[in-house]
Amino acid sequence: MNASHTTRPWLAEFVLLAAIWGASFLFMRLGAAEFGPMATAGLRVGIAALFLMPLLLLHGQWPTLARHWRKIFFLGLINSAIPFACYSYAVLAISTGLSSLLNATVPLFGAVVAWLWLKDRPHGLKILGLLIGFVGVAMLAWGKASFKPDASGASSGWAIVACLVATLCYGIAASFAKRYLSGVPSLVVATGSQLGATLGLALPTLLFWPSTLPSATAWLALLAVGVLCTGVAYVLYFRLIDKVGAAASLTVTFLIPVFAVVYGVLFLGESVTAWMLFCGAIILCGTALSMGLLQGRVKPAPSA
């Protein structure tokens, strides 16, 4: 087959995934404002699990999940439960645009984890890229981080820390999925991980359930983030890992801030400063170097 025909579906899924995940920051903000962080995260994964389970059963893949459930459930904790709770907390204190820019550090943490765990040691420009990327994060956080709670009790400093914890979890999860779940169908991994995350967040969701009934807008936001930004998105994401590998799949975070910033400006009236854009450019350039993109090294895996 012609190379252009094999790469077009991969690129289409890549951009679509970025657009969907970019919207997740908007929906989390709308949901967390009324549900709170823990209930938002718990409902997000619960809705995603309910959406994906019939698809799993329809495709007859329950036996596959039963064989791998321990690893997949653990993946759900580090790839969904913890990060979603962190971001649901963060978007209450910092803008969705800033959250998405911090989310762009996922490939940096992914490279560090692969280096320490999988012995995939970076060299030359990749090491320089890691340093540049983390310097960009420090610059971005320096002017935004304050650990003093504001009038609502939120803290931008802890929100930034929460975002970085989430990105570290994503980096660990990508290497874990590639090492232990390679070849497992994406629908099985997506469904099982959301089931595992739902179980992990069940008790915190009940304990922190809002005392006041949230509005229809908040419910619709969580429905969207559960079905579209989680259920559909994770099927696409694990398909990408199978097609192009964990490292290339993580670079979807380059495009997510573009969509997230646009959504935040259009629908939440958020402002974007020149400093945010400058630091974001440094982070993205550093990440590109760390992934070898500027040398053209990240390529799709050969199709079967």
Q: Which amino acid is at 257?
A: P
pLDDT of 154 > 50? The answer is yes
Question: Would you kindly state where each structural domain of the chain is located, as residue ranges?
Answer: 3-208+221-295
pLDDT of 32 > 90? The answer is yes
Residues in CB range of 154: below 8 A, 6 or more apart: 92, 93
pLDDT-derived band at 246, boundaries 50, 70, 90: low
What integer pLDDT is reported at residue 4 of this predicted model?
Answer: 44
What integer pLDDT is reported at residue 6 of this predicted model?
Answer: 46
pLDDT-derived band at 123, boundaries 50, 70, 90: confident
State the sign of the Cα–Cα–Cα–Cα dihedral 211, 215, 218, 220. positive
What integer pLDDT is reported at residue 151 of this predicted model?
Answer: 55
Q: Alpha carbon 168 to chain centroid distance?
A: 10
Stretch (H or E) spanning 232: none
What integer pLDDT is reported at residue 2 of this predicted model?
Answer: 46
What's the rounded Cα separation, in Å, for the pair 10 and 70?
29
pLDDT of 183 > 80? The answer is yes
Per-residue pLDDT of 74-111, as tens digits, reads 999 999 999 999 999 999 999 898 898 888 888 788 88
- The whole-chain average pLDDT of the chain stands at 85
pLDDT of 185 > 70? The answer is yes
**How much is the average pLDDT of 219-229?**
96
What integer pLDDT is reported at residue 146 of this predicted model?
Answer: 60
Euclidean distance between the first and the last CA atom of the chain, given in angstroms as a whole number: 11
What integer pLDDT is reported at residue 11 of this predicted model?
Answer: 77
pLDDT-derived band at 222, boundaries 50, 70, 90: very high
pTM of this structure: 0.83
What integer pLDDT is reported at residue 100 of this predicted model?
Answer: 87
Stretch (H or E) spanning 48: helix 37-58
**How much is the average pLDDT of 241-259?**
77
**How much is the average pLDDT of 118-144?**
77
Taking the CA atoms of the chain, what radius of gyration do you get in angstroms?
19
